[in-house]
Structure 1
Amino acid sequence: MNIAKLSVLRPVAMAMCIVLLIMLGTISLLNLPVDLFPELNYPVVAVTASYEGAGPEEVENLITRPIEELMSSVPNVESVSSTSRTGGSLILVSFDWGTDLDFATLTMRERIDQIRDSLPLGVTAPQVMRFDPSMLPIIQLAITEPNANIAEVKKLIENEIQPRLDSVEGVAAVQIEGGADQEILLEVDPDHLANFGLSLTDLQQLISSENLNIPGGQVTDANQSLPTRITGAFRSVFDLEILPIPTTEGVIPLGKLVTILETTAPVLQQSYLNGEPAVGISILKTSGTNTVAIARNVKNEIKQLKELLPPGIEIRSIFDQSRFIEQSIRAVGWNIIIGGLLAAFVLYLFLRNIRSTLIIGFSIPISIMTTFLFLYFYGETLNILTLGGLALGVGMMVDNAIVILENIYRKRQLGEGKKESAINGTNEIGGAIIASTLTTVVVFLPIVFVEGLAAQLFKPLAITVAFSLLASLITALIIVPLLSSTFMKINEDTSAFQRGFDRTKALYQRLLEWALAKPKTVIFSTLVILGSSLACIPFLGTEFLPAQDQSFISIDVRLPVGNNLQTTTELTEEIDQQLLSIPEIDLSYVTIGGTDNFTVGAGSQTNRASYTILLTDVTKRTRSDLVIAEEIRQLLAEIPNANIAVSASDTGFSENPISITVRGPDLQTLKRISDEMIHTISNVEGVREPSSNYTEGNPEVTVSINRSKAASYGIGSAQIASTIGNATKGLVATKLTRNGEELDVRLQVEDRYTASVDHLEQLLIDTPTGERIPLAAVATVERGQGPSSIRRADRLREITVRADILGRDLGSIVADIESALKEEVRPTLPSGYRITFGGQNEQMNDAFFKLSGAIALAIVLVYMVMAGRFESFFYPFIIMFSVPVTAIGVIFGLLLTNQPVGVGSLIGMLILTGIVVNNAIVLIDYINTLKKEGHNTYDAIVKAGPTRLRPILMTALTTILGLIPLTLGYGEGTEVQQPMAIVIVFGLAVSTFITLILIPVIYRITDNVRKKNKAAHLEV
């Protein structure tokens, strides 16, 4: 290797390059954006359209179907789903991963423009919106003040807190939820008002016309042109009370006509923190910015605000994404440090030379800094997957350096000088090192061609491992020879460990000689062990991604449709009492009322409540979030007349574990089938809280206008609707500006006029003749059931049943569900209806198929790299025998740790494919070197095996011990990397042992066969 020679002969120049590399790596690390996971560009685009007053079936036929047909013809569309409900439609278009969404949304808008004129009158122009993960909050706060009015707290937030947080760099928006707004209520008795010849609309127009500040032109005085301003705006409630109102009975003050109250506006949403009224704040970040840095700046701003706010105001964090990011990154960082120290311990144990250990140890931070430099220029973020890649690579980083250093050390022991041994030792083994590194790096190439969520998540990890290995190769070829030629000293090792290793080496040599003498026994034994391992595969479960304990539990509470806010609030008080018995709960935040995200025309949902429960730190509790969630589930199961769903360990980027969809033409038939499915899967072990997304229509009051009767009184439908709306919702007459804030002045009829359907029928309507008639005279008022929403996918109506799982792996539960549905539901399934599985099961199957293909392609690529290195197809064929035997260790490891096969396990197998051949490459490369020196095959094998035993054991042990912290799942956020580490540790451990015996046996057998074939060919 000329580069090694250059490094040894130009030490000062190389030292300056090393310092520069470390500086650039440090700068790159400080400038890398920090996030929890890689930023995922979900390939989903939404189309929304509103059609006021139209029912779900009208919306479906007139809006949803035409848009669906257009969207299905857009290139790269994977699926089209929709929801049609009263007043509007939402169509979700899912594209293939990797699609250019900017171009796709442009195409969608062009297609929609083609049918815009053919849509019914009254339909708003359809809007196309991309789903952006940055729309989700990074921090959610709850603010309480036990002794203050909640409206005052909200006002304080709007005036003092929100502007300060808005000004923090990187904050895109600050949203406020809950609380109440102050307003001036003018309570009206329509009968009393009629006595004075006034209606609600008349009063509203009179009040708004008096509350004005308007310019009055210019006036010239003393040669000056002065602007004129007429000031008539209300300054206080007293101004309203004395406002003169002209009536048929004369001019009367407003205070004599209405009851004036200073109160809070009606609320359809309330928030509570640990039972205390609270106002919530959600903070959204700018896309592509550093989550941790923004959160840190926000927290610093809050710390300064607390010193300025009135005493008693408490600001609590109910969700902080940066907290989990920092904990996860800290845990992975410690794993890297611990793994590195364990690797250094192995080095010292084998080398018994502190200088040699420091040479290898110094190569780790240099490789890491070089990796950070690569990541920065590649445009990656620092997240638990890229750091997980470093944690996976930290043990492998020293492999190349170990092999080169060991060879240099051996050359020194044979009497060569410092520089000669550094150059010759590197040159002798450099080709094998490059080949072994490329075999590990090349296994990640197939991931580039894999699509889907799994690939989006694990590409950064694969890239990081590849970068770390390339960095370690550069370090091994340049820095190790440089430091070895300068600092290495050899010493005679007479320690107990060395004596023990010498005995192990002699034992291995005897075992190798026995194996070469009994090749059939070795191969047969290996096949039996491999077959036994493969027979255990059915006992392994399957999953998509492992659950992550984020110290976070959510509860979704739903009462029967139509329940008001007060009823829902009373239920949450009962839930709060039950939650007091859970010692691990740090805080509980509940939002009552509100709307679903991404729904069109859904209106308020006062029958719903949503809990955010923050648990104490993982290190301070003995139970996982899943176990605590199950206890909460059991506690709340006895609450009647409520549908309560408890969930934990939400990764944030995967769907429900169980998702079963039934499709067909008739909605009621779909409802019946989905109910049967819920009943069936409820009996499957491990299934929790199955429910469907079918929603019953809301109870409603229907006012059917008799147009002929209304026309006989000279009134129309618009006037009747306006009168009812003013009575039920009130009418904002004007605004009162006081102390720098604006208060709504709302006119509203007394509650007794809208207290029931009977009272609503008696609501009086003004006619053009001055007569006032009850609503019952021109319309029929009755209670009814509103229409349900209609969901479609790929142009078929559908209902989806979803469920969580606990205590069992996803694959086993899905298999039991499929069996149960086959026996109980599918036999009675009507023609034209079909059941399909989606959710995590669909994602898992897709990922398994694609990653299995990636592993197969990786094996081919590894073989090609080795063929190029050895310039032969023969030796790579021998080396590839080390790949299938890794299944023994992988299956044993997964069974021992009770870990199901998932995406992480498959990624581990992919990485393992490139690692396990490294030892065989180093071994066979040296056997070939000895054969070129004149040794026969048997002698070359017997000499090469013990000679290469130390570097093989050192590289295997550094990789294995470097991954031990990840294997044990130490710290938060390591759940994703743990299956990979388990697969690599157990697979490499077993493969190393078998490789040391099996590969020499295979080498000798194939070499003898080749010699016989060659001799037979010569005879011919």
Structure 2
Amino acid sequence: TLQDKLIEESIIVALVCLLFLFHFRSGFVAILTLPTAILMAFIVMRWQGLNANIMSLGGIAVAIGAMVDSAIIMIENAHKHIEADGGKTDRWQLITESSKEVGPSLFYSLLVITVSFIPVFALTGQSGRMFKPLAFTKTYSMAAAALLGITAVPILMGYFIRGKIPPEEKNPINRILIKLYSPVLNFVLKFRWYVLAAAITILGITVYPYMKLGSEFMPPLWEGTLLYMPSTFPGISVTQARQTLEMTDKIIKKFPEVTTVFGKAGRANTALDPAGFDMFETTINLKPESEWPKRMTPRKLEAALNDALQVPGLSNVWTMPIKNRVDMTSTGIKSQIGIKVMGPDLDSLQAIGERVEALLKQLPQTQSAFAERVGYGNYIDFRIDRLEAARYDLSVQDIEDIIKSAIGGMPVGQIVSGIERYPITVRYALERRDNPEELKRVLIPTPTGAQIPIGDVTQMIIHHGPMFIRTEGAVPTIYVYVDASEYFRHRRICEHSQKVS
């Protein structure tokens, strides 16, 4: 917490002043500067309407280390002046001269740190909402420290820096550090061009590992629970989805690190879950890491689970529950990496998405890549033969009511259990509606009391069509989900995605 950071920083400042300056009271100058500057930052936050959260307080915590630098430098410079004067000049005059000597430079150096976060204010969207509070509070804290460095610190030095100031050479720690530093300083000054060349060479060498670094908006946080979210092709039946889900749950439960497994296929009983049967969600609760086998890590466990769940037709995606909710809320994409393909024509989008999927699968870091098949949904159309229906004295509404009730189900009542309500729906048994030929035999009562098959008055056609149409800004969009063994660089993803254009 911020209180802990303040206490820790105050103790460190006091120890530094005691160990290196041999003067305990000098530490109070820097210690008093910290809470004063933070209080000034809080006043501006209150005036701005910026609340205290993990990011705003994080900005203050980041600034704490730099806020006391100017005070410590001014204290040390005042010690040097008092030590060199030997008590001949008035102490307040020495404090004034020492403050004028380094005060302007320290003030401008703190201002440079203050304005260094100005580019953060140009961020927009999710990154802007997240990092602007941190930038505000860090800027306020550093600005307050710069102001106090030229106003309050010289006055506090005049009151607290009293008594005998021991020379620097009498401090054994300083003597050891000077003996270690002097040969290094003499060496780099003597061979300065070689040292500069070595520094430039090292800087050049760092370019290669920098190019290999991955990137991610937020660092991963281990939640202690995994979320397995594979996707399959549309058109999977309820029976097959249940069997596949049971099979994957049994495989996962065999791992000794797993305590419980709970899987879901399709949508939950809520309007906020638009998932189809082609999307699975399995929550994997894990034991504490202390109970895991030796040398097992979360990354190794995820890799082992992924290897065990190489089920034909499933494209695996591994994440964590909280991270998934954040990703889905901010981007709509469930995987750690996702590509959005946008355009006016669904068939073209589908073709491009499949090409992107094929290209990404060629990368060695790709565990799985899956482009949404929005146009692969299966539909059954009943086209009513109006002339044939008229021969039996049937209206279009009569036939549609049978289709709706016998196949889709008709609500006929409700079960009340306390505050719970359950609808009662009546429809044909599964074996009478689980294949097209059986659907043709669904009976329709006529006004004369006869029962005729629905196939006599309708033509049943099976065709493919979009299961859903996702739009962003009124433009049709499909997603390509990518799960990687290590973090991709955005540049590499863009290079492979642009190959299809």
TM-score, normalised with respect to structure 2: 0.79
Structure 1 counterpart of 2:458, from 767, 779, 786: 779
Q: Is the 8 A contact 2:58 2:134 kept in 1?
A: yes
The aligned residue for residue 79 of structure 2 is 409
How big is the shift at 1:573?
2.9
Once residues 52 and 378 of structure 2 are traced to their aligned partners in structure 1, the CA distance between those partners, rounded to angstroms, is: 51
Once residues 764 and 473 of structure 1 are traced to their aligned partners in structure 2, the CA distance between those partners, rounded to angstroms, is: 87
Q: Is the 8 A contact 2:253 2:259 kept in 1?
A: no
Q: AA paired with 1:348?
A: L
1:7-18 to 2 correspondences below 5 Å: none
Mind listing any 5+ residue stretches in structure 1 that lack a counterpart?
A: 1-329, 827-833, 836-1020
Structure 1 counterpart of 2:109, from 414, 436, 440: 436
Structure 2 counterpart of 1:682, from 358, 361, 373: 361
Q: AA paired with 2:199?
A: I
1:593-639 C-alpha deviation (Å, 9 max, x unpaired)? 21799999x6x7234321233556789987664443222212212x3
Name the CA shift for 1:354/1:589 in 2 (closer, same or farther; >3 Å). farther
Name the CA shift for 1:505/1:421 in 2 (closer, same or farther; >3 Å). farther
Structure 1 counterpart of 2:319, from 622, 641, 647: 647
The aligned residue for residue 276 of structure 2 is 605
The aligned residue for residue 397 of structure 1 is 67
Q: AA paired with 1:492?
A: P
How big is the shift at 1:406?
1.9
Once residues 100 and 288 of structure 2 are traced to their aligned partners in structure 1, the CA distance between those partners, rounded to angstroms, is: 52
1:458-857 to 2 correspondences below 5 Å: 458-489=131-162, 490-492=164-166, 494-503=170-179, 511=186, 515=189, 522=192, 525-527=195-197, 529-540=199-210, 541-542=212-213, 543-545=215-217, 547-551=219-223, 552-585=225-258, 587-594=260-267, 605-615=276-286, 625-637=298-310, 639-648=311-320, 652=327, 653=330, 658-660=337-339, 667-668=346-347, 671-735=350-414, 744-748=423-427, 753-781=432-460, 783-787=462-466, 789=468, 800-807=479-486, 809-811=488-490, 813-814=492-493, 818=496, 826=499, 835=501
Q: Is the 8 A contact 2:17 2:27 kept in 1?
A: yes
Q: Is the 8 A contact 2:22 2:166 kept in 1?
A: no
Mind listing any 5+ residue stretches in structure 2 that lack a counterpart?
A: none
How big is the shift at 1:402?
0.9
How big is the shift at 1:706?
0.7
Once residues 340 and 588 of structure 1 are traced to their aligned partners in structure 2, the CA distance between those partners, rounded to angstroms, is: 48
Q: Is the 8 A contact 2:263 2:281 kept in 1?
A: yes
How big is the shift at 1:567?
3.6
Name the CA shift for 1:418/1:583 in 2 (closer, same or farther; >3 Å). farther
User: Which one scores higher on RCO, CA 8 angstroms, separation ≥ 6?
Assistant: 1
Q: Is the 8 A contact 1:564 1:607 kept in 2?
A: no
Name the CA shift for 1:529/1:677 in 2 (closer, same or farther; >3 Å). same
1:190-239 C-alpha deviation (Å, 9 max, x unpaired)? xxxxxxxxxxxxxxxxxxxxxxxxxxxxxxxxxxxxxxxxxxxxxxxxxx
How big is the shift at 1:581?
4.6
How big is the shift at 1:683?
2.5
1:140-165 C-alpha deviation (Å, 9 max, x unpaired)? xxxxxxxxxxxxxxxxxxxxxxxxxx
Structure 1 counterpart of 2:41, from 367, 371, 380: 371
Q: Is the 8 A contact 2:56 2:137 kept in 1?
A: yes
1:174-185 to 2 correspondences below 5 Å: none
Q: AA paired with 2:444?
A: I
Does residue 349 in structure 1 map to residue 19 in structure 2? Answer: yes
Secondary structure at the residue paired with 1:643? coil
Q: AA paired with 1:463?
A: F
Secondary structure at the residue paired with 1:590? strand
The aligned residue for residue 942 of structure 1 is none
How big is the shift at 1:465?
1.8
Once residues 723 and 663 of structure 1 are traced to their aligned partners in structure 2, the CA distance between those partners, rounded to angstroms, is: 40
The aligned residue for residue 122 of structure 2 is 449
Once residues 486 and 254 of structure 2 are traced to their aligned partners in structure 1, the CA distance between those partners, rounded to angstroms, is: 23
Number of residue equivalences:
483
Once residues 802 and 749 of structure 1 are traced to their aligned partners in structure 2, the CA distance between those partners, rounded to angstroms, is: 38
1:575-605 C-alpha deviation (Å, 9 max, x unpaired)? 23332354554654433321799999x6x72
TM-score, normalised with respect to structure 1: 0.42
Q: Is the 8 A contact 1:647 1:804 kept in 2?
A: no
How big is the shift at 1:396?
0.4
Once residues 339 and 628 of structure 1 are traced to their aligned partners in structure 2, the CA distance between those partners, rounded to angstroms, is: 39
Q: AA paired with 1:773?
A: I
Q: AA paired with 2:166?
A: E
How big is the shift at 1:436?
1.5
Once residues 663 and 538 of structure 1 are traced to their aligned partners in structure 2, the CA distance between those partners, rounded to angstroms, is: 34
Q: Is the 8 A contact 2:249 2:263 kept in 1?
A: no
Q: Is the 8 A contact 1:658 1:814 kept in 2?
A: no
Secondary structure at the residue paired with 1:550? coil
Q: Is the 8 A contact 2:410 2:426 kept in 1?
A: yes
Name the CA shift for 1:798/1:740 in 2 (closer, same or farther; >3 Å). closer
How big is the shift at 1:356?
1.8
Calculate percent identity across the aligned residue pairs. 20
1:206-355 to 2 correspondences below 5 Å: 341-342=11-12, 344-355=14-25
1:901-926 C-alpha deviation (Å, 9 max, x unpaired)? xxxxxxxxxxxxxxxxxxxxxxxxxx
How big is the shift at 1:423?
4.3
The aligned residue for residue 940 of structure 1 is none
Secondary structure at the residue paired with 1:408? helix
How big is the shift at 1:690?
0.9
Q: AA paired with 2:160?
A: F
1:453-495 C-alpha deviation (Å, 9 max, x unpaired)? 4444332222222122123234434543444333334442523
Secondary structure at the residue paired with 1:463? helix
1:177-198 C-alpha deviation (Å, 9 max, x unpaired)? xxxxxxxxxxxxxxxxxxxxxx
Q: AA paired with 1:436?
A: S
Q: AA paired with 1:473?
A: A
Secondary structure at the residue paired with 1:355? coil
Secondary structure at the residue paired with 2:26? helix
How big is the shift at 1:554?
2.0
1:298-354 C-alpha deviation (Å, 9 max, x unpaired)? xxxxxxxxxxxxxxxxxxxxxxxxxxxxxxxx6x88677656655554343322222
Q: AA paired with 1:480?
A: V
Once residues 337 and 530 of structure 1 are traced to their aligned partners in structure 2, the CA distance between those partners, rounded to angstroms, is: 40
Name the CA shift for 1:532/1:745 in 2 (closer, same or farther; >3 Å). closer
781-790 or 718-727: which moved more? 781-790
Q: AA paired with 1:497?
A: I
Name the CA shift for 1:790/1:627 in 2 (closer, same or farther; >3 Å). same
Q: Is the 8 A contact 1:412 1:421 kept in 2?
A: yes
Does residue 359 in structure 1 map to residue 38 in structure 2? Answer: no
Secondary structure at the residue paired with 1:553? strand
